[in-house]
Amino acid sequence: MSNLKTAPGQPKYRRIVLKLSGEALREPGSHEAISPAIVSDIARQIQEVRDLGVEVAVVIGGGNIWRGLAASHRGMDRTTADYMGMLATVINGMALQSALEQLGVVTRLQTAIEMANVAEPFILRRAIRHLELGRVVIFGAGTGNPFFSTDTTAALRASEIRAEVILKATKVDGIYDSDPKLNPNAQRYEWVTYSEALTKRLKVMDSTAFSLCMDNRVPIVVFDMAVPHNIRRVVCGEKVGTLVTSSE
């Protein structure tokens, strides 16, 4: 994590990975998988951060279209189901790329599975160069391997590009000791260690993702995506959501 003293409104982080769920693109209660209005709003929030000079990479899930694990529980071959989920993340990535480019934000979609007609293959040095040039980079198709979640993808890509933080966008305002929707007395953590998150099985990211972040010292901020300007507030160092980091 950066230790820079920043003035109000100035970014605390130089390079971030924003982790979005596929469900974040869906209008609540709608049968449509992708809401153009919501995607445009997310794009504007990303643009706001990019305009501060922050290098932004995005990892997006595909759960609004297809959930590989859920399909495997219904009898489908897990590997096949997971590859279908990877393709769903590319669809979402294309939607976000289109919304960003309509705002004039130069964007590159890179995929872990080659599909030359719609995206670049993931090449680490090329991704870093895009970021250095101020382009937003969207990582699609997960890690390219079955049995790994897009949370793990975010942890892996953040480690590879040496991002200073992962911003995990959710529908709640941080990490709780129990489900706040089911327990009105649930307590929210302002700060928690990787070890505590693993030991207490705080189900915000899977254990593989937490372990990768712990091993590579990548902090995670879990925050509510629905609050306007929250991405900018986190990037500028405001105490938003829950910070997951080492005990140091």
> How does pLDDT run across 132-149, given as a tens digit for each residue?
999 999 999 999 999 999
| Per-residue model confidence (pLDDT) at position 197 | 87
Please state, in angstroms and rounded to a whole number, the distance separating the CA atoms of residues 177 and 242: 12
Find the mean pLDDT for residues 165-191. Answer: 90
Please state, in angstroms and rounded to a whole number, the distance separating the CA atoms of residues 201 and 199: 5
Please state, in angstroms and rounded to a whole number, the distance separating the CA atoms of residues 121 and 145: 14
| Per-residue model confidence (pLDDT) at position 8 | 55
> In this structure, are residues 150 and 62 in contact, taking their beta carbons and an 8 Å threshold?
yes
pLDDT(177) > 90: no
Find the mean pLDDT for residues 80-104. Answer: 97
| Per-residue model confidence (pLDDT) at position 3 | 43
pLDDT(122) > 90: yes
Among 124-138, 152-166, 194-208, the minimum mean pLDDT is found in: 194-208
- Per-residue buried b or exposed e for 196-231, using 16+ beta carbons within 10 Å of the residue's own CB: ebeeeebebbeeebbbbbbeeebbbbbbebeeeebb
Please state, in angstroms and rounded to a whole number, the distance separating the CA atoms of residues 241 and 236: 13
Long-range pairs, 238-241, Cβ under 8 A, ≥24: 239/190, 240/173, 241/173, 241/174, 241/175
Q: Closest Cα partner for 161 from 61, 68, 58?
A: 58
Query: What SS3 class is residue 187?
Result: coil
Map tokens 């250095």 to a residue: 132
Quote the Cα angle for 163-22-196, to 5°: 55
Please state, in angstroms and rounded to a whole number, the distance separating the CA atoms of residues 96 and 109: 9
Map tokens 């990211």 to a residue: 205
Kind of pairing, strands 175-176 and 188-189?
A: antiparallel
> Can you list the domains of the chain with their CATH numbers?
15-245 (3.40.1160.10)
Total residues found in the chain within this entry: 248
